[in-house]
Chain A
Amino acid sequence: DENVTLSPGCHLHPFNVSIRSDQRGTCRGTHLAHACVGYCESSAFPSRYSVLVASNFTHNITSASRCCTIAKEAKVKVRLECPGGRHHDELEILTAKACRCDMCRTSRY
């Protein structure tokens, strides 16, 4: 509900996954999966002297941060409908089951 999405913290957020499969992309399926979306606390402040020394005086700022992460995930099977209804494919996708404000990762993915 809206109050949960607007309040700080890291929450399950439903979204539709659309899949087109087989080599020619002719089988299709959609499924409701969950992402984790939210607002976690973070701060940045002057680094301690030991951090300055260890980084050769480059890391002047220390970041203490939490980001919204998937704490628990599950696989769900999505049934793909193929043209003519002659056969069906099944595909596994991931969905979030629990969310948590946890360590931030700097990678793009």
Chain B
Amino acid sequence: TALHSFRGCAVREFTFVAQKPGCKGLRVTTEACWGRCHTWERPVLDPPYIHRHHRVCTYAVTRYASARLPGCQPGISPLYHYPVAVQCHCAVCTTLDSEC
């Protein structure tokens, strides 16, 4: 399926720069989540008058990995922990573990 017409939520390769104060940045390639989830808003007769079904493509099963950042100052741990998506799904965004 072409990406422009893909519906659903899947694990997808993702590259970011792991960076924290006292170390140099490092490009890290990992697995993250991407997709299109079924969402809707429907008027209803009673308050609050809009019934909403909002779901986002996010991590269902997560493991953690560590990168070793270069050029860290003395006393600064070079380890940078980040999540790796093992499985993704459409779900409500939870502020327990996510920045929504």
Interface residues of A (CB under 8 A from B): 7-8, 10, 13, 15, 17, 19, 33, 35-49, 51, 55, 58-63, 65, 67-70, 73, 93-96, 104-109
- A91 vs chain B, min Cβ distance (A): 8
Q: Does B38 contact A (CB under 8 A)?
A: yes
Give which listed residue, B14, B45, B52, B85, contacts A109 with CB less than 8 A. Answer: B52
Most buried by B among A10, A61, A68, A94: A61
Is there an interface contact between B6 and A8, defined as CB atoms closer than 8 Å?
yes
Most buried by A among B5, B32, B50: B50
Is there an interface contact between B37 and A44, defined as CB atoms closer than 8 Å?
no
Binary CB contact string for chain B from 20 to 38 against chain A (1 if under 8 A, 0 otherwise): 1100000000101111111
- List 21 A-B residue pairs with CB atoms under 8 Å apart, sorted by A's residue number: A8-B6, A15-B42, A35-B43, A36-B40, A36-B42, A37-B39, A41-B35, A44-B57, A44-B98, A45-B16, A47-B99, A51-B99, A58-B96, A59-B99, A60-B98, A61-B59, A61-B62, A68-B39, A70-B50, A94-B49, A106-B94
Query: Is the interface on chain B under 10, 10 to 19, 20 to 34, or 35 or more residues?
Result: 35 or more
Given A42-B36, A44-B32, A44-B56, is A7 in contact with B5 using a C-beta cutoff of 8 Å? yes
Most buried by A among B4, B9, B39, B100: B39
Given A35-B40, A42-B37, is A106 in contact with B93 using a C-beta cutoff of 8 Å? yes
Given A63-B58, A70-B50, A105-B52, is A45 in contact with B19 using a C-beta cutoff of 8 Å? no
Is there an interface contact between A42 and B57, defined as CB atoms closer than 8 Å?
yes
Bound-state CA distance A60–B94 (Å) is: 11
